[in-house]
Structure 1
């Protein structure tokens, strides 16, 4: 089986980087195309424009660990679609509570942990309310 990898040509320039077409040739794959989309689709410029911040501040948030990003082979940063809302959350915490960046990181970790615990609690409450049926 031979696999040829090439970049597809979707409508936008950002989509062209994110979506990849894999053409698989062989007896079990007669000219089949599989499209893979990366969850990391936004560049630093995209996130900066959507959040209204300079790109250097976005890079600083990544360096401090306040926003998740991935680096490709060329060293460029790629963000998920939720990065602008995560940046807005960091800004609200920093401005509303007058916290430094280290404290914002701790508060974000605590908020994420509280969210996970509440989700687990809801699941156990829901499981306790469901009647068990024995057949």
Structure 2
């Protein structure tokens, strides 16, 4: 026993802080196959492959070399299709429009964080 009162005792030096004892599990991100993405988006798998080749939708390759997609890929493909049909854009210009729309979203988010803009723009 120490001659210190109980409320002033320190934890032993070997005791890790509570935050250091927390263990985290690594959860794999679910991936969608080419067929699943094509079925969910209503597009032919060859057209989805073409969009990947043009850089209009992101995909990775699994260990077997097959295309796999993030769960958001069907929504991205729907966006491409809306731009194609609604604005009659070719696929090269759709890539440019998608880049510009993403940039606008980033800039608007930065403005909201800075507190300089309280209302959304009229086009959203």
Q: Give unpaired runs (5+ residues) of structure 2.
A: 1-24, 117-124
Residue from 40, 43, 50 that aligns with 1:53 = 43
Secondary structure (helix, strand or coil) at the match of 1:36 reads: coil
Residue from 27, 39, 43 that aligns with 1:36 = 27
- Per-residue CA shift, 1:56-98, capped at 9, x if unaligned? 0011100000001111232111101110000000000011111
TM-score normalised over the length of structure 1: 0.65
Q: How many residues align?
A: 92
Cα offset for 1:105? Answer: 0.2
State the alpha-carbon separation in 1 of the partners of residues 26 and 75 from structure 2: 27
After superposing on structure 2, the runs of 4+ consecutive aligned residues of structure 1 that deviate more than 2 Å are none
Matched, 1:110 2:103: no
Secondary structure (helix, strand or coil) at the match of 1:62 reads: helix
Secondary structure (helix, strand or coil) at the match of 1:78 reads: strand
Matched, 1:100 2:70: no
Map 1:57-76 onto structure 2 (within 5 A).
Answer: 57-76=47-66
State the alpha-carbon separation in 2 of the partners of residues 120 and 36 from structure 1: 29
- Per-residue CA shift, 1:5-64, capped at 9, x if unaligned? xxxxxxxxxxxxxxxxxxxxxxxxxxxxx563224x100000000001110001110000
TM-score normalised over the length of structure 2: 0.70
| CA-atom RMSD in angstroms | 1.3
Larger Cα-atom Rg: 2
Q: Give unpaired runs (5+ residues) of structure 1.
A: 1-33, 127-135
Equivalence for 1:29: none
